[in-house]
A = this chain, B = another copy of it.
């Protein structure tokens, strides 16, 4: 019979003994594996090496500009068009900026903090600024909000996206709520995909703050693993309600080509993007256009990128399979751990019994396996149940991952059994 929260104290004590000895055996293997971040494996990176060896036949882009020189603040046209076609955004509403969508998000927030949005009061001048944070979510988003002193409000996620009843209720009356931060497809870490209805409610809802902003971080927009989920086109929906400027859309090739050496973009409605372009014109002379041309030339079309992502998805699937198979084997008939199988993205999000996540991560660490810190998927690192753990299976080899999952599962069981015994 499988272990569960209903298991008797006696059985639990017997089990703990067995687990202790398994744990000590695993510890003696002296594994050292860092699975804390969603790092691609070297084999994934190799798929994109062509970008680094373009042997450019020409440095002149489709508009006749030498990409090696100054100019073209908003990004070369062919690259903007590639992303426009890929994501269903007008090319003129896209700025290609730098190597990091996180940096673009930070900068966008910083600009509203310093200067306001389209004539609104700078957020730095307000008594309080609140941001809605669907949870579990991406820790780096929360770190940015914390840096600016924003109050983060947890919004529970369901299988369709954030709880929109709650979002609508909060946003319509409270003008200190300035933003919601979303990873709408294959959400980090839970893999949830926002339904069309959720997307439409986000752009159609009444917002007390005229400068209310949807931070739309579509980081995994083409990262299919088991299924090809489609995300509703937020700008098309926003157009129906005249709220395009409410949306700041972010995307990057960090997890398509090279983390930190790809290209990232920001897009918005006509007015908001015009303001951003003006401020960009003060902030920088322009971004790395050689990389933009290389990226464009490597993919050439959305189909080129999808083909690339199918190869990448296959690699990830192998890793996801290892994790999900092991979880099924070990916890398929136990309530020690629950999880949803994601259709894509980079992560598998699991929930232990309440109060066991931190201890699981600690136990794993003592065994040489570094997991993402427990609680990190919640604002202020505070998981109210201490149950959520993000598994990032991309980086290790399949063999390493198998070993890591052994450690993980024993750690979950040991933490659960001990907690239950303590509470008996």
Binding site for B on A (CB under 8 A): 37, 39-40, 42, 45, 48, 52-56, 59, 66-71, 98-100, 102-103, 106-107, 110, 113-115, 122, 124, 140, 143-144, 147-148, 254, 258-261, 279, 282-291
Contact = CB atoms under 8 A, between A and B. Distances in A.
A56 B55 CA distance: 13
A258 B114 contact: no
A379 to B, nearest CB: 14
A37 B260 CA distance: 29
Contact of A110 (B103, B110, B147, B285): B110
A258 B98 contact: no
A285 B131 CA distance: 22
A110 B288 CA distance: 22
A99 B291 CA distance: 11
Contacts of A286: 100, 259-260
A327 to B, nearest CB: 25
A260 B289 contact: yes
A22 B114 CA distance: 52
Contacts of A291: 261, 288, 291
B45 A68 contact: yes
Nearest to A144: B282
B290 A261 contact: yes
A106 B107 CA distance: 11
Contacts of A114: 110, 113-114, 124, 148
A39 B69 contact: yes
A282 B284 CA distance: 20
A34 to B, nearest CB: 10
Contacts of A143: 282
Contacts of A285: 100, 102-103, 140, 254, 259-260
B98 A37 contact: no
Q: Which 3 A-B pairs have the closest CB atoms?
A: A103-B284, A70-B259, A261-B290
Contacts of A103: 283-285
A54 B55 CA distance: 9
Contacts of A45: 59, 66, 68-69
Nearest to A53: B55
A419 B312 CA distance: 69
